[in-house]
A and B are shown apart, each in its own frame.
Chain A
Amino acid sequence: NFMLTQPHSVSESPGKTVTISCTRSSGSIASNYVQWYQQRPGSAPTTVIYEDNQRPSGIPDRFSGSIDSSSNSASLTISGLKTEDEADYYCQSYDDSNVVFGGGTKLTVL
C-alpha cells in the first residue's frame, strides 16, 4: 500500500496562480491515474481533474493537472485565482483494487 501526501494548507491572492502537490510514498505516480476533487464548505466533492490531466465538462481551463515522475508526485494548478476557488482539494489514486485519498489541502484565497 502507498500513501498520498498533500500540504495541509496553501494560500494565495486573487488573480495569482497556486499549485497543490500530491506525493506518492511508494510505487510510481505514473502507475495509476490521479484524480483531484474540490470540496467547498458544506458541499459534496466535485471532480476538477481526472486521469491525471483531464477536465470534466464545465470545469474552467484555469484548472490543470500534471504528474512528475522525478518527484513521484501529481500537481493541481489553479491560475487566475478567484475567491470561489477557496475550498479543500483532495488527490486520489488507486492501489490494485483499493482507492487511496490524500489528506486534503485547504486553499485560502485572500
Chain B
Amino acid sequence: EVRLVQSGAEVKKPGESLKLPCKASGYSFTNYWIGWVRQMPGKGLEWMGIIYPGDSDTRYSPSFQGQVTMSVDKSITTAYLGWNSLKASDTAMYYCARLGDGLGTPPDWGQGTTVTVSS
C-alpha cells in the first residue's frame, strides 16, 4: 500500500524557518516525482513544484521559485518542503503527492500539514 505520511500542525512566528516532511512507503521512492501543493484557507489547490527523488531534479512553479526549497533524503524515503523565513502569507495547508507515471500508476496524496504563521 502506498502511503505518504505528513507531520502534524505547525505554529510559527514570522521570520522563523520550517521544514515539512513527507514520509513515503509502499513503492519505489526514487522512481516517482513528488509534488507539493498549497491550499490557502477557503481557496483552491496551487501547485508549488515537483522533485524527482532519484536525482533530486527539482522544478518550481514560477509563483514559488525562490520562496521555498524542496529536497529529499533517499535513505529514509522522505521528501521535504522548507522555508528560511516564514511570512504570515505562508499560512495554509500543504500537501505532498506522488505523481502518476503516465503508465497506469495513479497519483497518491498525503494527509496534509497545516502551517500557521502568526506573531
Contacts and interface: CB of A to CB of B under 8 A. Distances in A.
B47 A47 contact: no
B107 interface: yes
Contacts of B95: 44-45
Given A46-B109, A98-B59, A37 B102 contact: no
B108 A54 contact: no
Q: Is the interface of A mostly helix, strand, loop or mixed?
A: strand
Contact of B104 (A54, A97, A104): A54
Contact of A51 (B37, B104, B109): B104
A104 B45 contact: yes
Interface residues of B, number: 22
A44 to B, nearest CB: 5
Interface string B77-119: 0000000000000000001010110101011111110000000
B109 A44 contact: yes
Contact of B102 (A51, A90, A101, A103): A51
A98 to B, nearest CB: 6
B102 A33 contact: yes
Leading 9 A-B pairs by shortest Cβ distance: A99-B47, A56-B106, A50-B106, A104-B44, A97-B59, A47-B106, A44-B112, A101-B45, A47-B107
Interface of B: 35, 37, 44-47, 50, 59, 61, 95, 97, 99-100, 102, 104, 106-112
9 contacts: A33-B102, A37-B107, A45-B97, A50-B100, A50-B107, A54-B104, A88-B44, A100-B47, A104-B44
